[in-house]
């Protein structure tokens, strides 16, 4: 086989998320992206609860394993929004999703109050693009609630224009993720509830993003489930010279590369096509059909 599972500790082979269990290494799990922000970088922003609900239901029917809800755009140079505005965007949708779909729900936020209310409303996971650098108290919240947390390696605080040349991008990402993991464990988050994300497109140059994609397997040294969030990113649109909404095939290529490299979950916009790619790739690489 092409794929080699990381040498996991016995208690790191699964993560409970609501009523669902992710059994890492068996197959690639799919996280569907729902952006309720009108200025989303990928052109898929929705500012209507009914439309977002319909999209989530479609994703569930097409093979998504979890839905990730975000209310604030993370595109470069985007303006932060207030806590109240973010709550106004995400909570009504969460209330509907909790009763109308069976999948677990992740809240994509770095704001403590948003995460608190989202978990109280029914979210089952926190997706923190700052890896606890912006709001360390998210770790205590995740520990108290017993929910998984995604920790991203984000270099935008030191490279807001994506122009700093780091000596070695993998070493930079590994150092960042190690610090985030240590903060999470110190706060009491269970080891099996930590998922890592290398942060494609966050404070890294085009060349660094491409190198990172080619060296994803080196992240396995951290012995944590790996989320790959490359869907419609500028790395792909720049290579293809196409707008982000026309980058599905490029995204599917990165998904395949990620699976060969041992990633465990993908965060994507196009579920049906991604599901098919994962099914074939997992059958060949993991022996799971």
**Residues classed as catalytic:** 233, 267
Contact 17, 29 (CB under 8 A): no
- Would residue 18 be called left, alpha or beta, if left means φ above 0 and alpha means ψ between -120 and 50 degrees? left
Residues 6+ apart with CB under 8 A from 168: none
260 vs 64: CA distance, rounded Å: 20
172 vs 170: CA distance, rounded Å: 5
Half-sphere exposure of 95 (CA within 13 A, CB side): 9
Q: Quick one: tokens of 160?
A: 């807001």
Q: Quick one: tokens of 190?
A: 């269970």
| Residue found by looking up tokens 């439309």 in the block | 51
């Amino acid at each position: 086989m092409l794929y080699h599972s990381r040498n996991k500790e016995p208690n790191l082979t699964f993560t409970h998320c609501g009523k669902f269990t992710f059994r890492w290494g068996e197959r690639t799990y799919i996280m569907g992206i729902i952006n309720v922000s009108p200025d989303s970088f990928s052109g898929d922003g929705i500012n209507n609860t009914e439309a977002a609900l319909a999209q989530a239901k479609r994703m569930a029917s097409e093979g998504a394993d979890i839905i990730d809800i975000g209310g604030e755009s993370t595109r470069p140079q985007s303006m932060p929004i207030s806590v109240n505005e973010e709550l106004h965007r995400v909570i009504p949708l969460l209330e509907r999703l909790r009763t109308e779909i069976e999948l677990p729900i992740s809240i994509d936020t770095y704001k403590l109050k948003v995460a608190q209310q989202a978990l109280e409303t029914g979210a089952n996971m926190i997706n923190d693009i700052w890896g606890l650098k912006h709001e360390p108290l998210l770790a205590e919240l995740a520990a108290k609630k017993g929910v998984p947390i995604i920790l991203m390696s984000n270099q935008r605080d030191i490279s807001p224009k994506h122009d700093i040349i780091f000596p070695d991008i993998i070493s930079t990402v590994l150092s960042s993720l190690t610090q985030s993991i240590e903060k999470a464990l110190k706060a009491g988050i269970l080891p099996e509830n930590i998922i890592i994300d290398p942060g494609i497109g966050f404070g890294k140059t085009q060349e660094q993003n491409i190198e990172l994609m080619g060296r994803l397997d080196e992240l396995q040294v951290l012995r944590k489930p790996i989320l790959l969030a490359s869907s419609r990113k500028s790395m792909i649109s720049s290579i293809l010279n196409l707008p982000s909404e026309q980058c599905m095939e490029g995204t599917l290529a990165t998904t395949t590369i990620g699976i060969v490299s041992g990633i465990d979950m993908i965060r994507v916009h196009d579920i049906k096509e991604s599901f098919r790619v994962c099914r074939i790739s997992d059958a060949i690489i993991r022996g799971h059909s």
